[in-house]
């Protein structure tokens, strides 16, 4: 029997779930599976579960006559892409910091360590979009994701720019003039204050809604803020009471401020990096024109004149972006 072309496994290891797929050299995801990330169980338990997930896919691939030659992982946290270990991570995954990700998986899977590679999940996501998604064909691309947090990656000539200490891409953590309230900078999840993430992330939009006088009963979470704001443009009956009208106004304001902060931040990064293509992704980018329009308007307003025609596009690969990006790390 002729050996099939080399396939690899791509893994997207996030705070709540871990998805993996068998990826063809073309980037096609042939089979995939998702498990919950054991985010309270510690690094070794997560490695056990992830190795079992991968081994199951390798077996399914073998049944289909496909051999797997390597494993690429995009993982939450700051990942040392040389040693393959987790430099630091938030408590979203308890005990993840310090885990020997590549060594632990290669030992469990009996693969040579050189056949396993890992980067941060946002870098994997951006690499996927740069390879096969919204930035395919561009020699450089900046991807920024706005969701539970704010992160990004600059992909240059097919490789994400990781930085000397692998911290590169933390685009949620620089100053935004929007991240203030009553003259004081807003606290950021990183421990700093006044950062982009403190005003432009999904949770930050809900917090802004409450600061602007919205009632949590009208919008208990970020999704609720968007539903409430969308109802403004639909409502023509004028029958709402004063309190819920106040909540609606707060919802519209929170989204427009968060979107403007996001757009200004991305615009500034474009001025610095001059990427061929800009990809905006994450839950907020998928929330529709209510967020996208003010985001893009603020972004365009920020650009230096020679950059005004830079393409700014939505991510296109969805949940498979990080899987194919991670696979690309080990595909020859």
21 vs 151, beta carbon nearer Zn ion:
151
- Name which of 174 and 215 has its Cβ closer to Zn ion: 174
Closer to Zn ion by Cβ: residue 107 or 190:
190
Q: What track of x and - describes contact with Zn ion for positions 127 through 166 (by CB under 5 A)?
A: ----------------------------------------
Q: Does residue 208 touch Zn ion according to CB under 5 A?
A: no
> Which stretch of DSSP H or E encloses residue 31?
strand 29-36
Distance CA 282, CA 301 (A): 22
Smallest gap from Cβ 188 to Zn ion, in A, equals: 3
Q: Kindly tell me which residue out of 125, 195, 248, 328 binds Zn ion, with binding defined by CB under 5 A.
A: 195
Q: What is the DSSP string of 252-302?
A: HHHHHHHHHHHHHHHHHHHHHH--SEEEEESTTTTS-HHHHHHHHHHHHHH
Residue 296 C-beta: closest distance to Zn ion, Å: 24
Q: How far is the CB of 192 from Zn ion (least distance, A)?
A: 4
Rounded to whole angstroms, the Cα distance separating 167 from 80 reads: 9
Candidate list 42, 192, 203, 283; residue touching Zn ion; CB under 5 A: 192
Of the pair 134, 188, the CB lying nearest Zn ion is at 188
Establish how many alpha carbons lie within 13 A of residue 270's alpha carbon, considering only the half-sphere containing its beta carbon: 29
Q: Which 159-188 positions form the footprint of Zn ion (CB under 5 A)?
A: 173, 188
Taking the complex as a whole, the smallest distance from the CB of residue 303 to Zn ion amounts, in Å, to: 24
Structure-token match 């308007």, residue found? 297
Minimal distance, residue 187 CB to Zn ion, in Å: 9
Q: Report the residue from 190, 210, 232, 297 that binds Zn ion according to the rule CB under 5 A.
A: 190
Residues in the interface with Zn ion (CB under 5 A) total 5
Which is closer to Zn ion, CB of 123 or CB of 195?
195
Residue with tokens 């797997």, as numbered in its chain: 68
CB of 186 to Zn ion, least distance (A): 10
The Cα–Cα gap between 65 and 268 comes to 49
CA 309 to chain centre: 25
Nearer Cβ to Zn ion (166/292): 166
| Burial of residue 56, with CB atoms counted within 10 A of its CB: 0-12 exposed, 13-18 middle, 19 or more buried | middle
In terms of CB distance, is 46 or 204 closer to Zn ion?
A: 204
Dist. CA 169–CA 125, nearest whole Å: 12
211 Cβ partners below 8 Å, 6+ apart? 181
Q: Do the Cβ atoms of 186 and 201 come closer than 8 Å?
A: no
Residues that bind Zn ion (CB under 5 A): 173, 188, 190, 192, 195
């Amino acid at each position: 029997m002729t050996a099939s072309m080399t396939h690899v496994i791509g893994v997207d290891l996030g705070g709540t779930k871990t998805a993996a797929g068998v990826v063809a050299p073309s980037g096609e995801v042939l089979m995939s599976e998702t498990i919950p990330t054991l985010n309270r169980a510690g690094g070794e338990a997560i490695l056990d579960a992830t190795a079992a997930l991968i081994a199951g896919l390798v077996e399914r691939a073998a049944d289909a006559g496909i051999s797997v030659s390597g494993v690429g992982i995009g993982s939450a946290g700051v990942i040392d892409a040389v040693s393959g270990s987790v430099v630091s991570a938030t408590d979203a995954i308890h005990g993840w910091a310090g885990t020997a990700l590549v060594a632990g998986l290669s030992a469990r899977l009996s693969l040579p360590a050189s056949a396993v590679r890992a980067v941060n999940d946002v870098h994997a996501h951006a690499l996927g979009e740069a390879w096969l998604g919204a930035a395919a064909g561009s020699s450089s691309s900046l991807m920024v994701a706005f969701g539970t947090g704010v992160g990004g990656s600059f992909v240059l000539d097919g490789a994400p720019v990781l930085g000397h200490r692998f911290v590169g891409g933390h685009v949620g953590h620089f100053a935004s003039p929007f991240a203030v309230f009553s003259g004081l900078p807003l606290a950021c999840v990183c421990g700093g204050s006044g950062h982009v993430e403190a005003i432009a992330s999904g949770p930050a939009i809900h917090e802004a809604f409450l600061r602007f006088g919205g009632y949590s009963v009208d919008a208990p979470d970020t999704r609720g803020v968007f539903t409430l704001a969308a109802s403004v443009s639909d409502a023509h009956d004028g029958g709402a009471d004063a309190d819920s009208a106040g909540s609606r106004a707060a919802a519209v304001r929170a989204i427009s401020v968060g979107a403007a902060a996001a757009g200004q931040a991305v615009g500034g990064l474009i001025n610095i990096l001059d990427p061929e293509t800009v990809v905006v992704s994450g839950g907020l980018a998928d929330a529709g024109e209510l967020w996208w329009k003010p985001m893009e308007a603020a972004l365009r307003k920020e650009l230096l004149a020679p950059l005004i025609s830079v393409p700014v596009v939505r991510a296109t690969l969805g949940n498979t972006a990080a899987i194919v990006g991670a696979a690309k790390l080990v595909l020859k």
